Amino acid sequence: MAQTLSAILPPGYVRLTGDLSFDVTKTGKKGLWDINQNDPFAVWELTVSYIREEFEDTPALRFDDIYSFFLVSGGAMAFLVDDPMDNTATARNGEGHVELFDGQYRLFKHYKFGPLVYVHPITRPKSGVILSGGAAGGTLNQNTGIVTGISAPGRWDGGFYRPMIFAQSKLRYETDPAGLVRAFDVPLEENLEI
């Protein structure tokens, strides 16, 4: 598990794109894929884009900050990202559950589509998370998502961050013919801490 920095990317990004992917293996049958049962969790991938506007000088400082942050973390340290598309227990048809996993009660988010459910671990809850049901009265560790002091599953509600790393230790940038940096694309990948 990578060490997690208490840091955020510089503000001012103009675009956030993303998707998620499973560790899948192609089977022998045409068009069929199997999820790797040793790594059953999806990984969120996000790209944060910074673009210089015409006649704008201040982005140069922001680009320098991003470049320096990339060099310092080097893809080996994770940092927390607040994904505006999916940062609460109930976003994206979700439900927060406290479940037993590897002998410990942990926060999970259930993504639902009709009768189908995908379960994802939440390891970096925000402050203000409310535990209920069998988890009521438990103590939540905000650095792990582990709930202690309970003996039954329960529910949770509130927000969370995603621990991310620079995807493939790469940083993409674009320059104009004069060599001026015009844009940075910062590709990120979720760092599962479970």
The residues with which 73 forms a beta bridge, in sequence order, are none
Judgement on whether residues 126 and 167 belong to the same structural domain of the protein: no
Domain membership flag for residue 36: yes
Domain membership flag for residue 89: no
Q: Which residues contact 16 (CB under 8 A, 6 or more apart)?
A: 46, 47, 48, 49, 83, 84, 85
Domain membership flag for residue 88: no
Judgement on whether residues 51 and 22 belong to the same structural domain of the protein: yes
Judgement on whether residues 106 and 140 belong to the same structural domain of the protein: yes
Number of domains composing the chain = 2
In angstroms, the first-to-last Cα distance of the chain is 8
- 139 CB burial (10 A radius; 0-12, 13-18, 19+): exposed
Q: How far is C-alpha 55 from the geometric centre of its chain's CA atoms? A: 34
Judgement on whether residues 112 and 167 belong to the same structural domain of the protein: no
Domain limits at 117? Answer: 94-160
Judgement on whether residues 123 and 78 belong to the same structural domain of the protein: no
Domain membership flag for residue 156: yes
pLDDT in tens, the chain (194 residues): 445 555 566 666 667 677 666 655 545 555 544 444 445 677 778 787 777 765 555 555 667 777 777 777 765 677 888 888 899 999 999 999 999 999 999 999 999 988 888 899 999 999 999 999 999 999 999 999 999 999 999 999 999 998 888 876 677 888 878 877 778 788 888 888 88
Judgement on whether residues 116 and 179 belong to the same structural domain of the protein: no
Domain membership flag for residue 24: yes
Q: Quote the CA–CA distance of 35 and 136 in Å, as a whole number.
A: 34
The residues with which 6 forms a beta bridge, in sequence order, are none
